Structure 1
């Protein structure tokens, strides 16, 4: 039959197969074109060895080379699967390529001219395949050279980090990032022995890990296997990814493992081995070993730092060693006052002492850590909330005991939030956040409290954060307001003085003094708001004393104000500006505020006493060293805490406490005020004991300063809630 291709078309055939990216593509182009040129029905390329049959066209895909052996041997007529008996022709590829091009058709046998054309096409295909193989070899060599160059550059970068004494984390991150790049951006992590517990592993660095929170659960198992085997191991993760882990060493001992995920069956052992050797060099360096310890340890307390603690917490939450996790979040009360007054060295000494007391209350498996500043945390596994609360209560009790710091006795406290979670339910960030929210709730209810997190707390915390932000604008926006509650003689109900408090008229509703003070302390605004309250009180008191000479006003102050070296001079200046004597003012401080730093408190109070200002100890009886305060500090007045007053007619214990306070105060010739008097029975009992002053809604309710001023000027009686009492 006539030939369909010209010499020009043969040249085009060569161009087409040569332009292919690889040998398989060249064969897939060559066979159909040969069939078209020879008007054949089926064809294939048969290659020597394991290469087998390629480019099958018109034949079953599962055909084997031996089924085409007759055609390869040159038989003009052969029997082929699917086609049956057919005419065939075969031509060797040549050019050093073992194999040939086979074609077949059902009708006419192949002519000599057609066989010659087939020979030409086979030779052209063979030449193209040889060129493609040469190019593939050169490309592979270039790629291997590039990989080796990349590996070398990565190793040099790591070595430079070591030589320059860069921070340990920078060195470790350079290793994991470099390894990931060499492995096609595969997730890579470095697991090292925990400096705090050498039998455990932590994830020290990670790169391109899709879900960082799950790194530990995927990495630590294969890492431990590689360490135990002392060689590279391959494992399959629960999600089906292939994991490769290679051990690393420090000073000859196994120190951890380099772990890569998602590599499939690719042989990356040379890369992993080279990198593990570089890690071993970094970890063996003496200063790097020390840096590793420092990287995970808090230098003041020796406890795990925030990073190591978070890593351990994440392991507990994602691992299989426990079922539940309980977290204690500890924040010290009044630490800032000590730090500001005695200096940072004393603050550091105090933190170290607190850490020892925390350690002393824990079980052997519990992990304590310092998160930063005056915040600590405790990780507990498989423990009930009740048992965790008991541990927290012990920590609170120990933190409330006196500390001897820088030659002085100081008192602080601790507030603790507790959060619990089942393994797999939350991550480390979530449970830390929950415990933090509970801790702030504890702080707001008073020093030395323990609160367990509940889901509804987050809404309250969001509101609180908004309030704290708004508080910065409360003074310039004139949203603060004074309230006045008279102090009365219990026997007659006559006015003896006033207590002034501040509240915040926030657009969303009034905020009482206790919450306002807590918010102001958190926001660092207590000094500004305290100063405003003092100035406004003195301005009002100037008007009141014009009508009622000798009237005194009580104002609450906090630990931060007492610790401020300028506080006494600020009070003196405010009194001078208001043309008032110091005796007109009674400053009220809680036991907790006075015991944060008794030495500083004594100094501040002596300066105030020099100005004639009187001091009252508020909430008396609730602190750890109430009676000693009366001897140590220049106190004029004792205010019995309302919790004892309210319970004295129902509880013999509360009654005994009130009697003891009244007896001690009278013995020291101190004025006594009962806070929160609620009924006549309480008032009568107090009078019989020798307590003659009281404050509470049973006597006079709180009112605005304007109303109080108007009543005094008009000489009208104050709005009493009861009739006078007789002793």
Structure 2
């Protein structure tokens, strides 16, 4: 490259292309890719070099001039790709993630620039909202920190850095603790690392399967002990979508409940709607196998995915947990979502949990609507196991939520 010129490598990855292949087949996928290539060429009007890097990944080398900025190209690429793609049988909406690394600021070789642009792209795909991500020193530090955490989480079980806490879920009719949700906590180098930070890292580096089985076994082991105090207590356990790709998951789950002599009906496996980005038919078969063994299946964070109604209809789930975002907005349109979920629950026979209940007014409104269970800081924050056992050791009247009792008596 000429040292007096400024070049950049664009790393472009299509968002949601796997779902297109899974849902519509590879022929439709090929039609989409062909159209995307045309649109990339339309966006590139200044002698850019374009190549396909992988299945749905593309690399573009661009040259910046006083009248043409890298930002212009990124915006043009997004604009062209975001337009609906019409195939022979379908109308498909695509998006893309774009990472950019510049020469000579960020790297001196093509391979280095591709790697840095790739990292920038993944930082956008991991939750960014910008049209594109330009590599920077700040991003480099963030990536190094994530790599450090990723190595740490891989050793977390062996180092005994993981623990579970338990948040009570309240029966809205009686005020009793009906179940608890097991929540994972990780302390690393003296800091508590939030689950929304380390769980995605564990999913990326493959540690999530080992962690997931540890969580399942620890949850069931703790439930076995809690049944000495409250025999009807159930436990809710979050299951990563990657665990559902493990063909041995059903047999291992059965082995764990048999080992601790726990009734599987007291174990609620919580999955999010994101699992439907995987093989849907395979997932349905696995869920049915778990339900035949007696496990309960819950849909967590309901309403935040793209397939809410089909999830309930296809899976015949036992419980639906309404996402806290709707509870926070009960005074706006959230209450309409809650009402709709309750109407469906009567017809489809599932139970409903409202997450994120934080004040008395929310509890009153949800109870009046007939929500079966309530969970949130109004009743209890996540408790350490010893604190939970102390709570369950009290007289039943002392365990009941005073908030719901006050609501019922008002």
TM over 0.5: yes
Q: Is the 8 A contact 2:43 2:76 kept in 1?
A: no
Counterpart residue number, 2:42: 364
The worse-fitting range, judged by mean Cα deviation, of 379-388 and 490-499 is 379-388
Structure 1 334/584 Cα, relative in aligned 2: closer, same or farther at 3 Å? farther
Deviations 1:155-175 (A, max 9, x none): xxxxxxxxxxxxxxxxxxxxx
Task: Describe how 1:196-207 pairs up with structure 2 within 5 A.
Answer: none
Q: Is the 8 A contact 1:338 1:596 kept in 2?
A: no
Deviations 1:459-511 (A, max 9, x none): 12111101111222111111111111111134554311110021211114112
Aligned mates of 2:295, 2:341 — CA distance in 1: 23
Counterpart residue number, 1:62: none
Deviation, 1:331, is 6.6
Counterpart residue number, 1:635: 317
Aligned mates of 1:567, 1:575 — CA distance in 2: 13
- Length-normalised TM-score, structure 1: 0.47
Deviations 1:296-338 (A, max 9, x none): xxxxxxxxxxxxxxxxxxxx944xxxxxx58354276795x99
Structure 1 539/426 Cα, relative in aligned 2: closer, same or farther at 3 Å? closer
Counterpart residue number, 2:214: 532
Task: Describe how 1:73-84 pairs up with structure 2 within 5 A.
Answer: none
- Length-normalised TM-score, structure 2: 0.80
Counterpart residue number, 2:100: 419
Aligned mates of 1:517, 1:661 — CA distance in 2: 29
Q: Is the 8 A contact 1:698 1:721 kept in 2?
A: no
Structure 1 719/690 Cα, relative in aligned 2: closer, same or farther at 3 Å? closer
Is structure 2 residue 13 aligned with structure 1 residue 330? Answer: yes
Is structure 2 residue 147 aligned with structure 1 residue 465? Answer: yes
Aligned mates of 1:457, 1:719 — CA distance in 2: 48
Structure 1 counterpart SS, 2:228:
helix
Counterpart residue number, 1:726: 407
Counterpart residue number, 2:133: 452
Aligned mates of 1:562, 1:397 — CA distance in 2: 33
Structure 1 332/475 Cα, relative in aligned 2: closer, same or farther at 3 Å? farther
Aligned mates of 1:618, 1:396 — CA distance in 2: 30
Aligned mates of 2:143, 2:58 — CA distance in 1: 20
Counterpart residue number, 1:677: 357
Counterpart residue number, 2:166: 484
Structure 1 545/632 Cα, relative in aligned 2: closer, same or farther at 3 Å? same
Which runs of 5 or more residues in structure 1 are unaligned? 1-213, 219-237, 239-315, 319-324, 405-410
Counterpart residue number, 2:288: 606
Aligned mates of 2:174, 2:34 — CA distance in 1: 54
Structure 1 544/379 Cα, relative in aligned 2: closer, same or farther at 3 Å? farther
Could you say what the CA RMSD is over the residues aligned between the two structures, in angstroms?
Answer: 3.9
Aligned mates of 2:74, 2:133 — CA distance in 1: 10
Aligned mates of 2:330, 2:50 — CA distance in 1: 41
Task: Describe how 1:41-190 pairs up with structure 2 within 5 A.
Answer: none
Deviation, 1:352, is 4.2
Deviation, 1:360, is 6.7
Counterpart residue number, 2:33: 355
Counterpart residue number, 1:583: 265
Q: Is the 8 A contact 1:368 1:377 kept in 2?
A: yes
Aligned mates of 2:130, 2:406 — CA distance in 1: 38
Q: Is the 8 A contact 2:172 2:404 kept in 1?
A: no
How many residue pairs match? The answer is 391
Counterpart residue number, 1:496: 178
Structure 1 453/679 Cα, relative in aligned 2: closer, same or farther at 3 Å? farther
Aligned mates of 2:166, 2:316 — CA distance in 1: 26
Deviations 1:516-555 (A, max 9, x none): 2211111111111100000000000001112101111111
Deviations 1:253-290 (A, max 9, x none): xxxxxxxxxxxxxxxxxxxxxxxxxxxxxxxxxxxxxx
Which runs of 5 or more residues in structure 2 are unaligned? none
Is structure 2 residue 342 aligned with structure 1 residue 662? Answer: yes
Counterpart residue number, 1:711: 391
Deviation, 1:683, is 2.3
Structure 1 372/582 Cα, relative in aligned 2: closer, same or farther at 3 Å? same
Counterpart residue number, 1:10: none
Aligned mates of 2:58, 2:400 — CA distance in 1: 50
Structure 1 counterpart SS, 2:220:
helix
Aligned mates of 2:20, 2:36 — CA distance in 1: 19
Aligned mates of 2:256, 2:155 — CA distance in 1: 23
Counterpart residue number, 2:379: 699
Aligned mates of 1:623, 1:357 — CA distance in 2: 27
Structure 2 counterpart SS, 1:496:
strand
Is structure 2 residue 190 aligned with structure 1 residue 512? Answer: no
Is structure 2 residue 248 aligned with structure 1 residue 566? Answer: yes
Structure 2 counterpart SS, 1:546:
coil
Structure 1 375/695 Cα, relative in aligned 2: closer, same or farther at 3 Å? farther
Structure 1 484/350 Cα, relative in aligned 2: closer, same or farther at 3 Å? farther
Deviation, 1:699, is 2.0
The match for 1:687 among 367, 382, 394 is 367
Structure 1 510/373 Cα, relative in aligned 2: closer, same or farther at 3 Å? farther
Structure 1 352/491 Cα, relative in aligned 2: closer, same or farther at 3 Å? same
